[in-house]
């Protein structure tokens, strides 16, 4: 409610700031860029350049790239993104979709970015509002043991008195189907091994509905992580239409293995599960949009992004506070150097990513009318550990350009361009043919902390965030300032 009441003020403030920026060009174009632009000024946006011409144009940004890197890694902006993230997460905490904390986070970022001297506005969206409520689980047979659980997003609750039932432990959907007759009236425990997140997450997403099909009364899912210190990991789950909705929660790897071993010995296992989860009507929220307007083609956009929401455990520092902060920091670095690219740089801090990219999908639905003006979409949502490469999806001609761009990152040793840019929030754009990019970081520990109480500032390293910010800023600025937009590949 407070967010709605502040909207007229925020809108008026944004209009005032926009008017000031139009009266005073506070971001003059750098001399270094002007020299490279002059060499190719006669080439139209629709002309195919020779590889040597592209290489020469991009190489002309070497000095600018070094300035950005020096400022981020060694200069006055050193550790700034880390400090911003620490203050933000320490002040707000976790920020689940629909919560007051998320509303506070959006207000916090609006104020902070305004004070940073960047243009910022809010775009309204509707987002899911699921509330965890009180929850507990206890094994009562063959011995008493409290089970650490986290209810899964969108789960229904149990009756107030809870559910107490025998347990059936399985290691796969195939085993569940083979033993379907044993599942009736039971709590199904999935003890699936971790293969990869992309493969194993299906048990979290669909385990409840698959178990309900064969008569189970609830499910407990082994947390989707390769490493555990008795830490449950939550996440979104999807009920299938036409299937009874049963309560579902994640348990620790240790407890899933414990019950599997007991079951292998033929021991009878009974668990009492209590969950107060409920889904409320969709809530009002906002995507937070920050811009440096392009000097020549302001209608053309290079978009950087991370998501502002998190789960309701930990601090949401890694997922995805770090990605949000480096996407803000990239524009701060460019502003601080007095740079203003040919095209608009636009950072979007998404809302409700964890519920399936809800805020981003609504943004796409509104802005896809201008699809041809989106030059590159970028998302950081796999942590801000030490950067190793840039991942890219686009045409072969665009890849040739990006291969030259990443060469500018030689001072921080991240000159590798990999395939497959990824990100829930930018996927609608990439599926529509817009080139996309994401960070490949040293993420071997990412799923240790993912969606758990362990996602705190202790995971973050300031130097790693400096490097990620530098990479993000260099790539975004150079692509936004090149003479031509990145070539598109035709859609099938």
Q: Which residues are catalytic?
A: 353
Q: Which residue stretches of 31-117 are H helix?
A: 31-40, 51-59, 62-73, 80-92, 100-115
Sign of CA dihedral 328, 330, 335, 339: negative
CA-based Rg of the chain, rounded to a whole angstrom?
A: 24
Structure tokens at 455: 């996602």
Total H helices, total E strands in the chain:
17, 16
| Whether the Cβ atoms of residue 489 and residue 434 lie closer than 8 Å to each other | no
Task: Return d(Cα 105, Cα 92) in angstroms, integer.
Answer: 6
DSSP summary character for residue 233: -
**Strand arrangement, sheet containing 278-292:** 119-131, 278-292, 343-350, 297-307, 374-379, 436-441, 387-393, 417-419
Q: In what side-by-side order are the strands of the sheet with 270-275?
A: 145-147, 135-141, 270-275, 163-170, 187-190, 218-222, 248-251, 149-151
CA–CA dist 21, 17 (Å, integer): 6
């Amino acid at each position: 409610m407070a967010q709605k009441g502040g909207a007229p003020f925020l809108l008026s403030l944004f209009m005032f700031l926009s008017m000031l920026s139009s009266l005073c060009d506070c971001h003059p174009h750098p001399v270094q860029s002007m020299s490279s632009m002059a060499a190719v000024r006669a080439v139209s946006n629709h002309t195919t350049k020779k590889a040597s011409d592209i290489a020469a144009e991009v190489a002309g940004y070497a000095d600018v790239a070094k300035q950005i890197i020096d400022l981020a890694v060694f200069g006055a902006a050193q550790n700034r993104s880390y400090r911003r993230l620490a203050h933000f997460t320490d002040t707000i905490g976790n920020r689940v979709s629909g919560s007051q904390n998320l509303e506070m986070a959006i207000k916090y970022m609006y104020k902070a970015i305004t004070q940073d001297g960047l243009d910022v506005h809010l775009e309204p969206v509707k987002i899911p509002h699921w509330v965890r409520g009180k929850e507990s689980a206890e094994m009562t047979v063959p011995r008493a043991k409290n089970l650490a659980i986290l209810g899964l997003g969108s789960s229904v609750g149990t009756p107030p008195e809870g559910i107490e039932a025998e347990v059936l432990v399985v290691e796969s959907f195939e085993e569940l189907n083979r033993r379907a007759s044993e599942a009736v009236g039971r709590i199904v425990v999935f003890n699936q091994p971790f293969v990869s997140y992309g493969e194993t997450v299906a048990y979290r997403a669909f385990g409840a509905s698959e178990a309900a099909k064969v008569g189970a009364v609830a499910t407990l899912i082994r947390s989707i992580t390769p490493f555990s210190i008795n830490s449950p990991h939550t996440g979104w789950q999807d009920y299938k239409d036409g299937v009874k909705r049963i309560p579902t929660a994640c348990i620790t790897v240790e407890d899933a293995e414990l019950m599997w071993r007991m079951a292998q010995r033929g021991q009878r296992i009974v668990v009492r599960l209590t969950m107060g989860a409920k889904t409320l009507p969709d809530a009002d929220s906002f995507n937070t949009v920050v811009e440096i307007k392009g000097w020549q083609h302001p209608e053309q956009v290079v978009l950087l992004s991370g998501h502002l929401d998190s789960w309701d455990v930990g601090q949401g520092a890694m997922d995805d506070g770090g990605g949000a902060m480096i996407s803000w920091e990239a524009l701060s670095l460019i502003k601080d150097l007095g740079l203003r690219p040919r095209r608009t740089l636009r950072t979007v801090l998404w809302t409700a990513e964890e519920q399936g990219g809800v805020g981003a999908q609504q943004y796409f639905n509104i802005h896809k009318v201008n699809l041809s003006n989106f030059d590159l979409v970028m998302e950081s949502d796999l942590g801000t550990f030490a950067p190793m490469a840039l991942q890219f999806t686009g045409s072969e001609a665009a890849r040739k350009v990006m291969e030259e761009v990443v060469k500018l990152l030689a001072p921080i040793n991240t000159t590798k361009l990999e395939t497959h840019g990824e990100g829930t929030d930018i996927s609608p754009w990439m599926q529509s043919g817009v080139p996309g990019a994401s960070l490949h970081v040293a993420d071997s520990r990412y799923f240790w902390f993912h969606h758990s109480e362990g996602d705190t500032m202790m995971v973050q390293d300031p130097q790693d965030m400096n490097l990620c910010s530098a990479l993000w800023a260099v790539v975004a600025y150079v692509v936004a300032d090149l003479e031509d937009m990145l070539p598109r590949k035709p859609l099938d």
